């Protein structure tokens, strides 16, 4: 497609439930990032893939968060045993090359944990 697609757009989870968030990057884009954005704050980095390799996962807040990109295209962010503090918008971005500019972000998945 023309842009980065994220699904679902909205997700409501009960505390303790596992969730999976999907990101479809722009075709051919090598780099893929996940960010977490709490209400009223700027996005915070979670993890980075170059093709299928997860090169940086320093931003993942706990071992309940797991991301994968097995074939170097679609990526999934999984959160196990969700907690209320996980409520946020989860953004995915991709770029053809790692230059810092020209990153294309998706519209995000808004996760609400109740």
Between 41 and 84, whose beta carbon lies closer to another protein?
41
| Contact between 21 and 109 (Cβ < 8 Å) | yes
What is the closest distance, in whole angstroms, from the C-beta atom of residue 107 to another protein in the complex?
5
- Choose the binding region for another protein from 12-20, 62-70, 75-83, 94-102 (rule: CB under 8 A): 94-102
Does residue 31 belong to the site contacting another protein (CB under 8 A)? yes
What is the closest distance, in whole angstroms, from the C-beta atom of residue 100 to another protein in the complex?
5
- Choose the binding region for another protein from 10-18, 63-71, 72-80, 87-95 (rule: CB under 8 A): 87-95
Query: For the chain, what percentages of helix, strand and coil (3-state, to nearest 5) are there?
Result: 5, 50, 50
Backbone angles phi, psi at 84, to 5 degrees: -60, -35
CA gap 21, 50 in Å, rounded? 19
Tokens, residue 48: 């980075």
| Contact between 64 and 72 (Cβ < 8 Å) | no
Alpha helices, H only, 52-97: none
Q: Which of residues 39-58 bind another protein (CB under 8 A)?
A: 41-45, 48, 50, 55-56, 58
Does residue 33 belong to the site contacting another protein (CB under 8 A)? yes
Between 62 and 107, whose beta carbon lies closer to another protein?
107
């Amino acid at each position: 497609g023309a842009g980065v697609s994220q699904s679902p757009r909205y997700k409501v989870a009960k505390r303790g439930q596992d969730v999976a968030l999907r990101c479809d990057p722009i075709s051919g884009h090598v780099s893929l990032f996940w960010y977490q954005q709490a209400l009223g704050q700027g996005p915070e980095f979670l993890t980075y893939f170059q093709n299928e390799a997860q090169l940086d996962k320093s931003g993942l807040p706990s071992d309940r968060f797991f991301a994968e990109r097995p074939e170097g295209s679609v990526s999934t962010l999984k959160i196990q045993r969700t907690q209320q503090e996980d409520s946020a918008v989860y953004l995915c971005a991709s770029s053809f090359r790692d230059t810092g500019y020209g990153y294309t972000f998706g519209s995000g998945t808004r996760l609400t944990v109740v």
